Structure 1
Amino acid sequence: MSEARLHTQQRSSHGGQENSLWSSGFGTKLEAVTPFLGKYRPFVGRCCQTCTPKSWESLFHKSIMDLGFCDVILVKEENTRVQDVLSGRAPGGAGEGRVPDLMKKEVYRILGHIQAPPRPFLLRLFSWVLLRFLNCLFLSVQLHKGQMKMVHKAAQAGSPLVLLSTHKSLLDGLLVPFVLLSQGLGVLRVAWDPRACSPALRTLLRRLGGLFLPPEANLSLNSPEGSLARAVVHAAVEQLLVSGQPLLIFLEELPGVQGPRLSALGQAWLGLVAQVVQAGVVPDAMLVPVAITYDLVPDAPRDVQHASAPLGLWTGALAVLQSLRRCWGCRQACIRVHLAQPFSLQEYTINARSCWGSRQTLEQLLQPIVLGQGTVIPDTEKEQEWTPATGPLMALKEEDQLLVRRLSWHVLHASVASSAVMSTAIMATLLLCKHQKGVFLSQLLGEFSWLTEETLLRGFDVGFSGQLRCLVQHTLSLLRAHVALLRVHQGDLLVVPRPGPGLTHLARLSAEVLPAFLSEAVGACAVRGLLAVRVPPEGPWELQGIELLSQSELYRQILLLLHLLPQDLLLLQPCQSSYCYCQEVLDRLIQCGLLVADETSSSRPACDTGRQRLSAKLLWKPSGDFTDSDSDDFEEAEGRYFRLSQQSRCPDFFLFLCRLLSPLLKTFAQAAAFLHQGQLPDTESGYTEQLFQFLQRTAQEEECVDPNLAVSAVWTFRDLGVLQQMPSPAGPRLQLSPAFASRDSQERLEQFIRQFICS
């Protein structure tokens, strides 16, 4: 058998030889894969109807379904001219009035750290260079015209635009401003992270519209330097919003940085915007969730040791040249820029507070159940804020800090929900979750089409279309460094994921598919937890289908898993109750055919909703109010039972769903097993490194080890009360809590986690 590499463009005899590999052995006609269900493609990105009903209605473009895409890198030079856009729109200074010369000089010094007036000639030159770079590196940069229409409509309302984006690549901060500039929205000011840029690069980015927080802004509230810096930053943001220039804030941490998903710096900027709106300086601000998806991210995540190293001008130029040299003449990857429906910050602030209910820590919710000291789950939501408050955000009131954090989760949920699933993510998911040992290409073609259709059925868009064989060929050519293609007898090809770093790369790509199947994956793992104590894990599917699962048991098991999984993964909307999500999970399991109602064990059919007794509480309870206990409202759930469906496709689909969450859950289980081996007390970073090395030593050949999962395990165990953070002269250090000091309690924790894992 010889290994074959696939290329999309055939420019030589080698390309013709590879084409013969594809054409041999496939005599059947393959259908085209299109991102449509029926006549229309699924629309994604509607704002929350609970928190922003007026925006949901007024800012939606009625004919969005009829509008197609435009390729941004096909714009002409006239699309990026900016002289008229800049006239009269540059923000002013930090304030007026008579101040001492020394104070004025200090204010100008701090203001120089934050921003600089954009230079039209430099903007045009840089836009031209970036356009050439994108044309050399990417096949297309797609933008939905209907989404752009909604943003234009929101901009015409008169309120400043604040775009809140995910952060997949360092290219994002240049790509989004270029896209919006080419679409006539004006010069976008970008809130950059100073840690990512050298001083020379910061100077250039400020001239292109970049904003940076000065170092003094992170000093304590009692520091006079910090107070002055925060005052200047606040005034600069006021002038920026008053001038009407759009602002881009990244809500996620830098690519490659380990730790919580939400960016403390992004929340600091968002907190400043919220302060300006609440103070009445501007009546409102329109928030636009943004997401960027790549076939392949152009800059791979940096090593842990170099994650905090700033990017310099020469380093960046060298990286660009290397990318051009590597990709010259073989543009293959595509980018999709997503702009979700804008919504009013003022409207969200008013409505969101009414949805806030009581919350408890993960330790209060789960620890008694894990240790066998209780069985009842408290009827409250989980409080899990994985973002340290820094600098300007600390100057907010506690209630406003909570508002900013929950708004960030809300927007991040909207951004992820509007992201298209790329073909590389579909392929990586199939190879990791269904065919880790390899799969024949003839079978892979059909499963690629199946997973694409299942993704569309769940309301998620996909970032590709075309003939199935060409799509799979193109996708495998993009993944050629991580996938081996072996020619076998009868002209077929065997597709095998490469071990080691290749598996880790595929795992990161497959994470883009998880949001589309997250509800079903949670439900499948919860069902596995229920069956784990009744049926041996290796028992046949028919034997497992005999077991009756009551609705109340399913609710309880889903709740346990929801509390265990980190908020960074779930991205639940803060206005959504956990009990509502439990019902959504159960509905999804029924809709996808995994669960069927058992009518014989209930006095009336489970689908008979017409005769359900509504309690008095439900009759008067306002919509969205989940502060009271809902346990009494599920009394009738005791009489509803379900079985696993016996359809032939169900066992494979059930295993596929469970494997979507297996990497995280297996890491948590391994972290529980490591508790008695770890050297404690230790710093958080030190113990995380200990755990990561343990995971690498114990990983099997087909398993990938992701350092970010190790970080999630340590943070979750800290919230659960397994690890305690104790002060010391050298700084905070982790140690085992007394509740989990014994081997018995550690084994209980491991067993609790492993019940959700399906091998």
Structure 2
Amino acid sequence: MVLTTITSVHYLKIVDRALLLLGNVLSRRAAQQNPLPRAFLGLEVQGSPTPFCSMGVGWHFLMPLPEQGSPIVLLSTHKSLLDGILLPFVLLSQGLGVLRVAWDPRACSPTLRALLRKLGGLFLPPEANFSLDSSEGVLARAVVRAALEQLLVSRQPLLIFLEEMPGIQGPRLSALGQAWLGLVVQAVQGGIVPDVMLVPAAVTYDLVPDASREVHAFVPLGLWTGALAVLRSLRVWGSRRRICARVHLAQPFSLKEYTINARSCWGSRQTLEQLLQPIVLGQCTVVPDTEKEQEWTPVTGPLLALKAEDQLLVRRLSRHVLNASVMSSAVMSTAIMATLLLFKHQKGVFLSQLLGEFSWLTEETLLRGFDVGFSGQLRCLVQHTLSLLRAHVALLRVHQGDLVVVPRHGPGLTQLAHLSAELLPAFLSEAVGACAVRGLLAGRVPPEGPWELQGIELLSQNELYRQILLLLHLLPQDLLLLQPCQSSYCYCQEVLDRLIQCGLLVAEETPGSRPACDTGRQRLSAKLLWKPSGDFTDSDSDDFEEAEGRYFRLSQQSRCPDFFLFLCRLLSPLLKAFAKAAAFLHEGQLPDTESGYVEQLFQFLQTTAQEEGSFECADPNLAISAVWTFRDLGVLQQKPSPAGPVLHLSPTFATRENQEKLEQFICQFICN
């Protein structure tokens, strides 16, 4: 089944020429009829910007692809079911050649799957997921492995999606993507090809072209629905309501080199139950000096066939590449607008004020090293963005000639929360730090206390580190996407540095302490892997002890209170969903299957959203994250049964007292 896709080379050469000609025609027509700024449509290929526009979509590449040599494997995010069609088309138009796509069988109807297979699409046969001792599974995996090896030897580029398809409820990392990546790793380790160049790729949209009204509804892409989606894009191309997309390729790197260097970064890890449960229950105050082990993506047959060490390599490589893809993604105007309306102006805002805040948030995003997928005059840009969000936004005209922009309360807020999540990676470090500061002040200052009163409190560096670590352990690994070689303590220092850089924290000189600006020899923590200033030796004779505590205060600048609240609210949908899940423990019907309990919790989130207006929390993916986090934390226990695994409430959290402790632990990080 897979081998037929490798042998259809002559047909694909014809498709090559036809699509390349079509791409050139569309490019010239787009440039003539509706020219857009170079910053929006520039394609950087060896320093020569070339405009390219296809079906109302603007494409932008950050860097040229590597030259002929090792085979290329693109590892991409997955925002739309059309990504598998659009990405090969645009890369083909830039001379990359025919791109083989590893499709998820669930994404396509049987008719479309048969067509894509003839055009070079790769589909993993169901037998490949059979048990290791199954003869059918062994044969299927051998055929797939041989087909992939033939593809790599012939240096044909391959596209693998590292994220699950949009609308699929579950972990962020794709089990199928890891299975294909595991086969690539196996080919390099077996010497079939000397090396492979891995290229992190990212696709972002103003609005996902195939999104249905239900944000998280999943409908397989059929032959006619796919054709209609393309026709709609062509119709949008000539209309005023232009929907844009961006394709980003991050820095390619060698798989062989990564494999050699990655193993030296592996250290000891503990489960979330070991790390966090004693602190939640008040039995311990010290956070263990180790990393969190949290793997939510199921291991499929092709990955199980690898050695345990190689399975760990593939999982960490997947997270490493996905981090690079997300960091190179463009932030679209709809994400910025949704963030402002959801977290700053749920009750409405004047258009004149919204213009200034849109410009401010765009500048803050650019300052953090993220690209934006738009350009043009500010007023036209904001009006265009509001037109894209018109189903979720109401415009009210007032007597002074201004407009009031009001987000529509109801399920539309869930869509705004879904869009605003695209902006979170740009501010994630600051958001984690702000929520940690909020948790540190929760026991000292009333939550509604004035900013001046909160600024009186001294915050020690050790306290901040501890609070950040607690929040890092609580947040899902799929959200944080920390590098496998990056320790939590290094991330704590990064968070603290970001809070100082953005002006929220100010170093405080305490009596008798070393001045913060003193660059002389200091005793620093060995955990941070720092050396004293000016010492570049590798001698082990240096005495590194715990550094003297540094202290900070909240800045009293006029903009700080609003910015602090804004950062805290970026994580509020997830943290509120976790808090509501803790409150639901004494109401939920247990024992139940995992899917059944997730559905119970989701119904509870929807009910409380109707009562409190917190529709940003009424998301099935947040319900799944809460249930899985509580399972890792030891709040829920999974036990076998004749009907399959069943969730039970653990004896430790069967008491109402411990349930309230868990809820209070989560609520300390939430800023209303």
Mapped to 1, the partners of 2:508 and 2:110 lie a distance apart of 67
2:659 aligned partner, one-letter code:
Q
Structure-2 residue corresponding to 1:460 = 370
Q: CA deviation at 1:327?
A: 7.3
User: Any conservation in 2 of the 1:150–1:342 contact (CA below 8 Å)?
Assistant: no
Q: How does 1:651-730 map to 2 (within 5 A)?
A: 651-699=561-609, 700-701=612-613, 703-704=615-616, 705-730=618-643
Q: How does 1:564-579 map to 2 (within 5 A)?
A: 564-579=474-489
Q: CA deviation at 1:129?
A: 7.3
Q: How does 1:480-495 map to 2 (within 5 A)?
A: 480-495=390-405
Q: CA deviation at 1:151?
A: 6.6
Structure-2 residue corresponding to 1:742 = 655
Q: Which moved more, 1:293-302 or 1:555-564?
A: 293-302
Q: CA deviation at 1:345?
A: 0.3
Structure-2 residue corresponding to 1:27 = none
Structure-2 residue corresponding to 1:552 = 462
Mapped to 2, the partners of 1:266 and 1:590 lie a distance apart of 38
Mapped to 1, the partners of 2:7 and 2:285 lie a distance apart of 56
- State the SS of the aligned residue for 1:581: helix
- State the SS of the aligned residue for 1:154: coil
Structure-1 residue corresponding to 2:3 = 111
User: Any conservation in 1 of the 2:61–2:249 contact (CA below 8 Å)?
Assistant: no
1:556 aligned partner, one-letter code:
R
Mapped to 2, the partners of 1:211 and 1:635 lie a distance apart of 54
Q: CA deviation at 1:113?
A: 7.8
1:739/1:686 CA distance change after superposition, 3 Å = same
User: Any conservation in 2 of the 1:139–1:334 contact (CA below 8 Å)?
Assistant: no
Q: Select which of 121, 124, 130 maps to 2:14.
A: 121
Q: How does 1:168-567 map to 2 (within 5 A)?
A: 168-300=79-211, 307=218, 309-321=219-231, 329-567=239-477
User: Any conservation in 1 of the 2:395–2:406 contact (CA below 8 Å)?
Assistant: yes
User: Any conservation in 2 of the 1:142–1:335 contact (CA below 8 Å)?
Assistant: no
Q: CA deviation at 1:150?
A: 8.4
Alignment of 1:755 onto 2:648 = no
1:299 aligned partner, one-letter code:
D
1:306/1:243 CA distance change after superposition, 3 Å = same
Mapped to 2, the partners of 1:534 and 1:270 lie a distance apart of 49
User: Any conservation in 2 of the 1:692–1:707 contact (CA below 8 Å)?
Assistant: yes
- State the SS of the aligned residue for 2:479: helix
Q: CA deviation at 1:568?
A: 1.0
- State the SS of the aligned residue for 1:155: coil
Q: CA deviation at 1:144?
A: 3.8
Instruction: Note the alpha carbon deviations across 1:695-724, whole angstroms, 9 max, x for none.
Output: 111112253221111111111111111111
- State the SS of the aligned residue for 2:195: coil
User: Any conservation in 1 of the 2:602–2:623 contact (CA below 8 Å)?
Assistant: yes
Mapped to 2, the partners of 1:150 and 1:323 lie a distance apart of 24
- State the SS of the aligned residue for 1:636: coil
Instruction: Note the alpha carbon deviations across 1:576-624, whole angstroms, 9 max, x for none.
Output: 0100000010111111111111113452212323231357895899xxx
Q: CA deviation at 1:125?
A: 5.0
2:600 aligned partner, one-letter code:
Q
Structure 1 residue runs without a partner (length 5+): 1-108, 622-631
Mapped to 2, the partners of 1:644 and 1:396 lie a distance apart of 51
Structure-2 residue corresponding to 1:41 = none
Mapped to 2, the partners of 1:400 and 1:221 lie a distance apart of 16
Q: How does 1:46-61 map to 2 (within 5 A)?
A: none
Mapped to 1, the partners of 2:545 and 2:167 lie a distance apart of 44
Mapped to 2, the partners of 1:419 and 1:323 lie a distance apart of 22
Mapped to 2, the partners of 1:620 and 1:702 lie a distance apart of 47
- State the SS of the aligned residue for 2:248: strand
Mapped to 2, the partners of 1:416 and 1:583 lie a distance apart of 21
Instruction: Note the alpha carbon deviations across 1:659-714, whole angstroms, 9 max, x for none.
Output: 00000000000000000100111111110010000011111225322111111111
User: Any conservation in 1 of the 2:394–2:405 contact (CA below 8 Å)?
Assistant: yes
Q: CA deviation at 1:322?
A: 5.5
Mapped to 1, the partners of 2:238 and 2:79 lie a distance apart of 23
Whose relative contact order is higher, 1 or 2, with alpha carbons under 8 Å and at least 6 apart? 1
1:616/1:665 CA distance change after superposition, 3 Å = closer
Q: Select which of 75, 81, 84 maps to 1:164.
A: 75
Mapped to 1, the partners of 2:106 and 2:665 lie a distance apart of 40
User: Any conservation in 1 of the 2:2–2:123 contact (CA below 8 Å)?
Assistant: no
2:168 aligned partner, one-letter code:
V
User: Any conservation in 2 of the 1:722–1:736 contact (CA below 8 Å)?
Assistant: yes
Q: Which moved more, 1:608-617 or 1:231-240?
A: 608-617
Mapped to 1, the partners of 2:382 and 2:531 lie a distance apart of 54
Q: CA deviation at 1:202?
A: 1.2
- State the SS of the aligned residue for 2:613: coil
Aligned length: 638
Q: CA deviation at 1:154?
A: 2.1
Mapped to 2, the partners of 1:394 and 1:694 lie a distance apart of 37
User: Any conservation in 1 of the 2:524–2:531 contact (CA below 8 Å)?
Assistant: no
- State the SS of the aligned residue for 1:412: helix
User: Any conservation in 1 of the 2:164–2:173 contact (CA below 8 Å)?
Assistant: yes
User: Any conservation in 2 of the 1:114–1:214 contact (CA below 8 Å)?
Assistant: no
Q: CA deviation at 1:314?
A: 2.7
Structure 2 residue runs without a partner (length 5+): 47-59, 533-542
1:122/1:653 CA distance change after superposition, 3 Å = same
1:676/1:634 CA distance change after superposition, 3 Å = farther
2:144 aligned partner, one-letter code:
V
1:696/1:637 CA distance change after superposition, 3 Å = farther
Q: Which moved more, 1:472-481 or 1:487-496?
A: 472-481
Mapped to 2, the partners of 1:295 and 1:468 lie a distance apart of 16
Mapped to 2, the partners of 1:427 and 1:694 lie a distance apart of 28
Mapped to 2, the partners of 1:285 and 1:201 lie a distance apart of 30
Q: CA deviation at 1:301?
A: 5.3
Alignment of 1:145 onto 2:44 = yes
1:602/1:675 CA distance change after superposition, 3 Å = farther
Mapped to 2, the partners of 1:206 and 1:176 lie a distance apart of 17
Q: CA deviation at 1:305?
A: 9.4
1:429/1:304 CA distance change after superposition, 3 Å = closer
1:504/1:332 CA distance change after superposition, 3 Å = same
Q: CA deviation at 1:472?
A: 1.1
Q: CA deviation at 1:317?
A: 3.0
Mapped to 1, the partners of 2:382 and 2:14 lie a distance apart of 43
- State the SS of the aligned residue for 1:600: coil
User: Any conservation in 1 of the 2:523–2:545 contact (CA below 8 Å)?
Assistant: no
Q: CA deviation at 1:504?
A: 1.2
1:153/1:682 CA distance change after superposition, 3 Å = closer
Instruction: Note the alpha carbon deviations across 1:50-87, whole angstroms, 9 max, x for none.
Output: xxxxxxxxxxxxxxxxxxxxxxxxxxxxxxxxxxxxxx
